[in-house]
Chain A
Amino acid sequence: MSKLYSGAEIVFKCMKDQNVDHIFGYPGGAVLPIYDELQNFKSIKHVLVRHEQGAGHAAEGYARSSGKPGVILVTSGPGATNVVTALTDAYMDSIPLVCISGQVPTHLIGTDAFQECDTTGITRPCTKHNWLVKDINDLASTIHKAFEVATTGRPGPVLVDIPKDIQFQKTKYKKPKKEKKLNGKSHNHFNQNSIDHLIDLMSKSSKPIFYTGGGVINSGPKASELLRELVYATGFPITSTLQGLGSFPGDDNQFLGMLGMHGTYEANNAMHDCDLMINIGARFDDRITGKIDEFSPKSKKVHIDIDPSSINKNVKVDLAIVGDVKTVLSSTLKSLKQKKSKFLKSNKQKTSKWWEKIQKWRSVRSLDYIGSEETIKPQYAIERLYELTKDKDSYITTEVGQHQMWAAQHYKFNKPNRWMTSGGLGTMGYGLPAAVGVQVAHPKKLVIDIAGEASVLMTIQEMSTAVQYNLPIKIFILNNQYMGMVRQWQELLHDKNYSESYTAALPDFVKLAEAYNCVGIRAKTPEELDDKIIEMLNTDRPVIFDCMVDKVENCFPMIPSGKPHNQMILGPKDQENKKITGKGKSLV
């Protein structure tokens, strides 16, 4: 007879078989049996966070930078509710997470027991799937299934809720079974005809553009390689969403920069005027499309996505290819080589006028800003950070707001999985714990959280985690004392009524760093900025870098609410001419 294992042991045996190296968690009453077993499984390292939300974002950072699912372990009640923000964030940005939560014993469920909450009920809309395990015999297969659901198809978070009595009960352990089909949910549903159709559209187009997103990153590093190959083989221009940055080199001439609300002038105009748009792993989000009925009016649209429900959700497309980006791209390249081996040559002339037009848009230099010798301009700070770190293989996380957009605009990414930012949900407080997770996955690499002073205070307690585990993350705060993006919207849309967007009584971040027993550095002038950044990079400990920047700088270019792609506000001067009035104000 095979050995009997307790539920708690089975949790770890499953993790071992799923190749889990790290879990992020916080103990509590309903998961104590599981924490009791931790010491018996030496290959699994537990990272103790300071708040369950931090565990969730750290697991996200871990997953996004390593391609492996992030694993979270929390207790019942508040432990589970605290992780909901991170689960929702992962759901919006398609990040694979497996969250194990403790639950009160089965006989107490439904009695409003201490630290009881309806965890599966609360997390149902923010997970791909969740389970409440009421029978010890289902535990192993449920956890294996959870890993499978989280990582296959469009990735996402899952949750397994395990009552305390189940953690004590004993049964045989079941190894993971390789299931042939996940309930009919395999997602390569395209055929050669669609690929031929795509190549036909590509060869006919004179104003093409690739519009790529996080799906390329999620499909694995190979997908980014194939994307580069395809883009070079076709000579087409390419733009990327916020989540897709890094899948194509940011400093390449064919790259037009990020598109969308704070995208470049050339990317947005090219999207508007193109005759063929090839969407690879992006989802026509409202921050991308702007005014939807004037979105790219003259183009044929192709949409490559692993999730069938993304097709025709916001924008109707002419050709849909449902499949994994990597598989679709490799089929496309194969066919392209077979049928149109001289594609680039024949195509160059056809698209030359298009490239001329793009160069004209480029010459507007929409990311330029007015420099200063007295105060540090936030864009300048990012530029210097990029220049001083570009030779290292660095990983960047961000919080949410102006600093996030400036980072996306001015930091150039050349590899996938190097850029971790909360796009869909827009979670302030994401970046610091995410950096913790990234550093756990990549102990020797440079990990920087480009932060705002308002966002970072939402999860600042995780500095304590970074110090405990010697994770030398760098928190690079663009400190303008305002919730900058809120202030910017108030200036542009609400008659400069800066209601509650100024943070009085901010902490002294240098002293705060010292309190956490890490290193605090402050830069006040452009002159000293480089030296201070170098000092930060040379510090092999966690650093909080307080970069005092211009307080009222706005993030441009910007597609104002209610405008299509080709009506951007370029900068402070342009702003006067394109004042947002009337109904535009109510559109967010």
Chain B
Amino acid sequence: MSNSKSAYSFSNKKEKFDTHIIVVWVDNEAGVLARVVGLFSGRGYNIESLAVAQVDEKLKISRITIVTTGTPQVVNQIKLQLRKLVPVHKVADFKREDKAVIFKEMALFKIVGPNNKLESALKACKKYNPVLLDKTKKSNVIQITALRREIDKMSKDLKKFGLVSVSRTGAVAMTRGADIFK
């Protein structure tokens, strides 16, 4: 009895957690984001990042992109539970490793410091399509688009050049090639 585990509470299953990007097409109506987010918090699912905006003005469709982690069983439940929500039209699920899908996040970095440091910062961002959005004598605002872990790394690396503020979006995703998700 002492080593017994039960469905009633403990679980001794140690399954691997995978990172998935879930894309949800919803009616852009009052409370729809609360429904989606409430489903995640209420059922104990993770949200690593979230991006949402209306993508079709005429049909009033919003596209929500959620990065989540979970066992295969949990990720499957997330999809099935989302599909039950009345304003949800379709749900797509991509694994982070999926080569057929593009994932991007955007970040804004504010760097404050002497000119040489500002330049070094901009140089360091070279790989990630940097755009200089604002420039003063003492500061830069740089926009980059990259993967989550790349932005994580840049947020660390830029500290030495005078990084004072970071603002970043959640990931958005799109399939490669001519096909769209139906």
Interface size on B, residues (CB 8 A): 32
Q: Are the C-beta atoms of B9 and A293 separated by less than 8 Å?
A: no
A148 CB to nearest B CB, Å: 10
Contact with B along A301-321 (1 / 0, CB 8 A): 000000111011110100000
Q: Are the C-beta atoms of B34 and A587 separated by less than 8 Å?
A: no
How far does the alpha carbon of A290 sit from the alpha carbon of B77 in the complex, in Å? 21
A53 CB to nearest B CB, Å: 22
**Is A523 in the interface zone, CB < 8 Å from B?**
no
Given A125-B38, A128-B86, A308-B80, the answer on whether A581 and B7 have CB atoms closer than 8 Å is no
**Is A3 in the interface zone, CB < 8 Å from B?**
no
**Is B53 in the interface zone, CB < 8 Å from A?**
no
Q: Are the C-beta atoms of B7 and A308 separated by less than 8 Å?
A: no
Q: Are the C-beta atoms of A587 and B86 separated by less than 8 Å?
A: no
Residue of A nearest to B27 (CB): A183
Contact with A along B51-88 (1 / 0, CB 8 A): 00000000000000000000001001100110111111
Q: Are the C-beta atoms of B6 and A290 separated by less than 8 Å?
A: yes
**Is B16 in the interface zone, CB < 8 Å from A?**
no
**Is A186 in the interface zone, CB < 8 Å from B?**
no
Given A149-B86, A184-B89, the answer on whether A586 and B5 have CB atoms closer than 8 Å is no
Contact with A along B29-43 (1 / 0, CB 8 A): 011001100100010
Given A125-B38, A125-B42, the answer on whether A561 and B6 have CB atoms closer than 8 Å is yes
Given A124-B35, A125-B42, the answer on whether A183 and B7 have CB atoms closer than 8 Å is no
Which residues of chain B have C-beta atoms less than 8 A from A286's C-beta?
Answer: 7-8
Q: Are the C-beta atoms of A583 and B31 separated by less than 8 Å?
A: no
Q: Are the C-beta atoms of A313 and B6 separated by less than 8 Å?
A: no
- Choice from A124, A314, A582 contacting B1 with Cβ under 8 Å: A582
Given A124-B31, A124-B38, A183-B89, the answer on whether A312 and B73 have CB atoms closer than 8 Å is yes
How far does the alpha carbon of A291 sit from the alpha carbon of B10 in the complex, in Å? 10
**Interface of chain B, main secondary structure:** loop
Bin the interface of chain A by size: 35 or more
**Is B4 in the interface zone, CB < 8 Å from A?**
yes
Which residues of chain B have C-beta atoms less than 8 A from A134's C-beta?
Answer: 30
- Choice from A149, A185, A314, A562 contacting B5 with Cβ under 8 Å: A562
Which residues of chain B have C-beta atoms less than 8 A from A311's C-beta?
Answer: 80
How far does the alpha carbon of A292 sit from the alpha carbon of B4 in the complex, in Å? 11
Residue among A128, A183, A184, A290 with max Cβ neighbours from chain B (10 Å): A183
**Is A205 in the interface zone, CB < 8 Å from B?**
no
**Is A507 in the interface zone, CB < 8 Å from B?**
no
- Choice from B5, B38, B42, B77 contacting A293 with Cβ under 8 Å: B5
Q: Are the C-beta atoms of B80 and A309 separated by less than 8 Å?
A: yes
Which residues of chain A have C-beta atoms less than 8 A from B1's C-beta?
Answer: 562, 580-584
22 A-B contact pairs sorted by A residue (CB < 8 Å): A125-B42, A129-B85, A132-B30, A134-B30, A183-B86, A184-B90, A185-B83, A286-B7, A289-B7, A290-B7, A291-B6, A292-B7, A292-B11, A293-B12, A308-B80, A309-B77, A309-B80, A309-B83, A562-B1, A583-B4, A583-B10, A588-B9
Beyond A120-B31, A563-B6, 13 extra complex contacts between A and B, CB < 8 Å:
A129-B85, A183-B86, A289-B7, A291-B4, A292-B6, A309-B80, A312-B73, A314-B7, A561-B6, A581-B1, A583-B5, A587-B6, A587-B9
Q: Which residues of B contact A (CB under 8 A)?
A: 1-13, 30-31, 34-35, 38, 42, 73, 76-77, 80-81, 83-90
Q: Which residues of A contact B (CB under 8 A)?
A: 120-121, 124-125, 128-129, 132, 134, 149, 183-185, 286, 289-293, 295, 307-309, 311-314, 316, 561-563, 580-584, 586-588
**5 tightest Cβ-Cβ pairs between the two chains A and B:** A292-B7, A309-B80, A562-B6, A129-B86, A562-B4
